[in-house]
Amino acid sequence: MANPASRAGRRAVWHADGWWAPARWRPSPNVGERPPGQQPTLAIVHSISLPPGVYRGDAVERLFGNRLDWDAHPYFDGIRGLRVSAHFFVRRSGRVLQFAATGRRAWHAGVSQWRGRDNCNDWSVGIELEGLEGGLFEPAQYRALARLLRALARRHPLTEVVGHEDVAPGRKADPGAGFDWLQLSRRLQGSGLHLPRARRAP
């Protein structure tokens, strides 16, 4: 799916069902419908690189599109057949790719719970950052992430931003210790979004 090239298309920030105009669109088959009447109120930040620590390739894009060559790298054999997606992927450069409309349910959180509610995929937006779990992220990624979150908060009743590690503790640890929640919190001042992890940071 290509972004509309018309002037009107460029002016519109959001398109049908929740496609963000500034992102490069790469629709994934790994999506579903949200429960009736359910809008996302939570954003979940993840980190991913394939193989781990290798950046700038297209392996993540291929994974989310079910096009990854499982034999291309020994690491891929351990995730063979995996069917996942996120709504967004923020590259090291700050470029944003979108794989699922925000009105739909992407497969990013797995078994998860937040504030007593299960199945976070039903009521969240998943944002993957290109990076290594526990590693550092680029300034361009924080800028792009803050811009995206502000746009999401204007479209949906988003209230909180957490990490994958928060909704699946003990099972997931991304984005990890290298992610600067305080920096993101500063960039989101005035947005109305709450970042519980930023309050716990030293």
Q: Active-site residues: which are they?
A: 128
Angle (CA) 51 97 101, round 5°: 120
* CA dist., res. 27 & res. 87, Å (int): 9
* CA dist., res. 39 & res. 28, Å (int): 20
| CB hemisphere CA count around 124 (13 angstroms) | 29
Angle (CA) 81 86 87, round 5°: 145
Three-state secondary structure call for residue 11: helix
Three-state secondary structure call for residue 67: coil
* CA dist., res. 155 & res. 95, Å (int): 20
Angle (CA) 35 145 106, round 5°: 25
Lookup: tokens for 15:
């398109």
Tokens 């700038």 found at: 56
